[in-house]
Amino acid sequence: MPEAASAQPTRAPIGASEFDRDTAVTPREPGVYDIDLSAGWTIMNAVNGGYLLAVLGRALADALPHSDPFTISAHYLTASRPGPAVVRTETVRTGRTLSTGQASLFQQDEEGREVERIRVLASYGDLDALPDDVRTAAEPPAIPPMGSASVPRTVPPRRRQLRHHRTPDAQARPVDPGMGARTAVGQGEMRAWFGLADGRDPDPFALLLAVDALPPTAFELGLSGWVPTVELTVHVRSRPAPGPLRVSVTTRNLAGGFLEEDAEVWDSENRLVAQSRQLARARL
Amino acid sequence: MPEAASAQPTRAPIGASEFDRDTAVTPREPGVYDIDLSAGWTIMNAVNGGYLLAVLGRALADALPHSDPFTISAHYLTASRPGPAVVRTETVRTGRTLSTGQASLFQQDEEGREVERIRVLASYGDLDALPDDVRTAAEPPAIPPMGSASVPRTVPPRRRQLRHHRTPDAQARPVDPGMGARTAVGQGEMRAWFGLADGRDPDPFALLLAVDALPPTAFELGLSGWVPTVELTVHVRSRPAPGPLRVSVTTRNLAGGFLEEDAEVWDSENRLVAQSRQLARARL
C-alpha cells in the first residue's frame, strides 16, 4: 500500500517512535527489567493488553538468545495501571532454532506489595532465518482501500484514540475517525487498517499490539461494557513488510459468558504475518 | 448420537477407564505429583502431546481451587518418554471465578538430572457454574454418520492405533479403522469422530486429548514425517455431553517451516466444546 506510506508526511523509524519509547525496558539486573507503563495506552483505566504483551515481548527478546517472538501466550491476572512496573524473566530452554522463556510483569499495590499483573510463556526464534516457502489457503480480508471517502486514514492506536475506541458507543458509528477503516462486516467480525500514529513501520512487537487493538467483537454481538482478556496467544509467522497492516478479528462462539476472539494480521505484501486467539469474559 | 452409545457393548465410566488410569497423578507433597507416563500413547517413541496435556491438566485440577481447565497453554520443550515423571505446579492467582496456575513436567535423563519436558500456564474455573447463554455462528463439521459403511467405529486413540495413525502412510488410506471416520476434506483439513476405545464418555480432560489426537494436517498438505508441536493452547468452552465427539483440524498457513493447526471439538448435542490452536514445525 505505497499510497499510505507516501501520505504520511513524517514517519518515525523503528526504534525511535512513541511505541518504542513506551515499550522500552531498562535492565536492572540479568533478566529483570524496569518499565514505566505509559498512560497513553489505557482503556477505561486499564492498560491495553496488546501494549503489555509488547512490553513483555521486548523484555524476553533481551533476555533470550533469540530476538523474535514466534509464539507467546499471556494469562492476564490483574488489571495493570500506568506507572512503574518490573518484568522478571526466566530462560526456560535455549535451543538452536528456538528458545523458550517466561516473564511476569509486577506492580506495587498501595501497601507496597508486588502484585503480578500478567504472566507469559513464549518461544522465540529468528524470523529472518526461516525459509521462504509458503503454502497457504488464507486470504487477506476485504477492507475498503485507504484513501477512499469512508476511510480517512490509518489507525492510530494511541492515547485518546485507544482510550476511546473501546468504549461501548464506538460501534454506533460505521466509520470512526479514530479507527480508520473499521467496518462491521456482520455479527462478530471486525476489520481495520492498522498503523502506528507516527508512521512507524510494523515489526513483530507491533504485531503483538495489533492483535488486541480493535474494539471487542462483543460490541458487534450486541454486548457492551468491559470484555477483559483471560488469555491471549499470538503466533508471529513472518516479519511484516513496511506499510500499514490489515487486521480482522472474528468471534464465532459466545457461550457461558466467555468468547474467543481470533485475529489475523496481514502486511502490505499480502502475507499473513500474525494469528492470535484470546479467551475473554463477557459481562452479560 | 445415541446409536453410537448403544453400539458400545461395555462402557467404562469416567474415573475408571484406561484414560483415567493413565493420566492419574499421585500427590508427593503439596503441588507436586508423580505420574508414570504410559507407553500406550506414544507416536514414534514420543509421548502424545494431548495425553501430556491431560496429565498436566489433572495435576492442576488437584492443585487449584477450581477443577475445570478453561484455557491452557503448553510449550513443548523436549520429547517426553514413557515412564516416571514428576509434575510441579504453582498456584499463580486464585479468584472467585477463575484461578491461574502453572505446571511443568520433568523426567530424569540418563545421568539422573531432571529435564523439563513441557510447561503450561492455565486458568481454571467451574464449567457447571456458567450460564446457559449461547450465541454462536459456529456449526459442527460435516462427517459421514457413524455406522455408515465407510465409518466402522469410533476413534480409539490408544496403544497401537495412536502409535500408528501418526505415521506418514496413514494418509494413504481414506478410511483407517484405527481412525474411524477420518476423512480428508481438502488440503489442510481433517475431520473425525473421536471416542475413547473403552467407551468412556468425554470430560474436559478428554478434550485436551482430543484436540491433538488426529494425524497432522501437514500430511494432507503433502508433507511427511514428524511435525513436533511448539505450543498448544486449548480453550474448553463447555462440559461435553456423553457420546462421541466430532473433531475438525484445519491448517491454513504453512510458511517458513511452521504451520498452525486449529482444532474444534463438538459434542453429541452439537455444542462447540473446545477450540485449540497449535504452532508446529514442519520438517520440509
Cell of A238: 513472518
pLDDT at B168 over 50: no
Query: Of B284 and A145, which is predicted with more confidence?
Result: A145
Q: Kindly report, residue by residue over B8-44, the tens digit of the pLDDT.
A: 457 888 888 999 999 999 999 999 999 999 988 887 6
Q: Is B194 on the interface with A (CB under 8 A)?
A: no
B223: distance to nearest CA of chain A, Å? Answer: 11
Q: What is the pLDDT of residue B57?
A: 98
Give residue B173's pLDDT band: very low, low, confident or very high (50, 70, 90): very low
Q: Which one of A75, A131, A284 has the shortest CB-CB distance to B256?
A: A131
pLDDT at A2 over 50: no
pLDDT score at B240: 97
Chain B residues within an 8 Å CB radius of A187: 137
Cβ under 8 Å to A: B residues 2-61: none
Q: Which of B120, B131, B275 comes nearest A256 by C-beta?
A: B131
Inform me whether the pLDDT recorded for A210 exceeds 60.
yes
Does A237 contact B at CB distance below 8 Å? yes
Q: What is the pLDDT of residues A50-63, one digit of tens each?
A: 999 999 999 999 99
**A163 pLDDT higher than 60:** no
Question: CA nearest A193: which of A225, A145, A235?
Answer: A145
Q: Regarding predicted confidence, which is higher, B182 or A57?
A: A57
ipTM of the complex as predicted: 0.86
Please tell me the distance in Å from B10's CA to the nearest CA on chain A: 33
Instruction: Give me Rg for the CA atoms of chain B.
Output: 18
| Distance of residue B110 Cα from the nearest chain A Cα, in angstroms | 18
Smallest Cβ–Cβ distance between B260 and the set A78, A97, A235 belongs to: A235
Residues in chain B closer than 8 A to A66 (CB atoms): none
Secondary structure element (H or E) that encloses residue A120, with its range: strand A114-125
Give the torsion through C-alpha atoms of B141, A214, A8, A266, to 10 deg: -20
Residues with Cβ within 8 Å of residue B277, at least 6 apart in sequence:
A233, A235, A275, A277, B232, B233, B260, B261, B262, B263
**CB interface of A with B, residues 200-229, below 8 Å:** 221
Half-sphere exposure of residue B35, counting CA atoms within 13 Å on the CB side? 31
Could you tell me the three cell numbers for B24?
A: 492419574
Best to test chain B binding among A128, A136, A229 (most B CBs inside 10 Å)? A136
Which of the four pLDDT bands, split at 50, 70 and 90, describes residue A16? confident
From chain A, the residues in CB contact with B122 under 8 A are 75
| Closest residue on chain B to A132 (Cα) | B256
Q: What is the pLDDT of residue A141?
A: 87
Taking a contact as any Cβ pair under 8 Å apart, which residues of chain A between 144 and 183 contact chain B?
A: none
pLDDT value at residue A172:
24
Please state, rounded to an integer, the average pLDDT across all residues of chain A: 82
Residue B105 Cα, gap to closest chain A Cα (Å) = 13
B137 interface with A at CB cutoff 8 Å:
yes
In chain A the domains, ranked by start, together with CATH numbers, are 18-126 (2.40.160.210), 144-281 (2.40.160.210)
- Subunit contact A256:B238, Cβ cutoff 8 A: yes
Question: What is the spatial distance between Cα A133 and Cα A131, in angstroms, rounded to a whole number?
Answer: 6
Q: Do A131 and B92 touch (CB under 8 A)?
A: no
User: Hey, CA dihedral for A167, A171, A173, A176, is it positive or negative?
Assistant: positive
Give contacts of B238 with chain A, Cβ < 8 Å: 255-256
Average pLDDT over residues B235-261: 93
- 3-state SS assignment for residue B58: helix
| Higher local confidence (pLDDT), A11 or B229 | B229
All three cell numbers of A99: 528458545
The Cα A263–Cα A247 span in angstroms is 7
Give residue A272's pLDDT. 96
User: Mean per-residue pLDDT for A217-246?
Assistant: 86
Task: Considering only the beta carbons, identify the residue of B122, B233, B256 that sits closest to A133.
Answer: B256
- Mean pLDDT over A117-124 rounds to 98
Give the percent of chain A with pLDDT over 90: 56
Phi, psi of B219 (to 5 degrees): -60, -35
| Contact present, B231 and B195 (Cβ < 8 Å) | no
Residue whose entry in the numeric block shows the C-alpha cell 458509528: A173
pLDDT at B188: 78
Helix, strand and coil content of chain A, in percent to the nearest 5, comes to 20, 35, 45
Note the pLDDT tens digit of each residue in B50-94: 999 999 999 999 999 999 999 999 999 999 999 999 999 999 999
Higher pLDDT, B242 or B184: B242
Count the alpha carbons within 13 Å of B209 in the hemisphere toward its beta carbon. 27
Interface contact flag, A256 B130, Cβ < 8 Å: yes
In single-letter form, the type of residue at position A133 comes to: D
Hey, are the CB atoms on A119 and B131 less than 8 Å from each other? no
Residue carrying the nine cell digits 486464585: B94
Of A14-18, A26-30, A34-38, B261-265, the least confident: A14-18
| Residues A181, A184, A187: CA angle, nearest 5 degrees | 160
- Contact of B255 with chain A, judged by CB distance below 8 Å, is answered with yes
Contacts of B197 (CB under 8 A, 6+ apart): B18, B154, B156, B157, B158, B161
Mean pLDDT of chain B: 82
Cβ pair A70:B230 closer than 8 A: yes
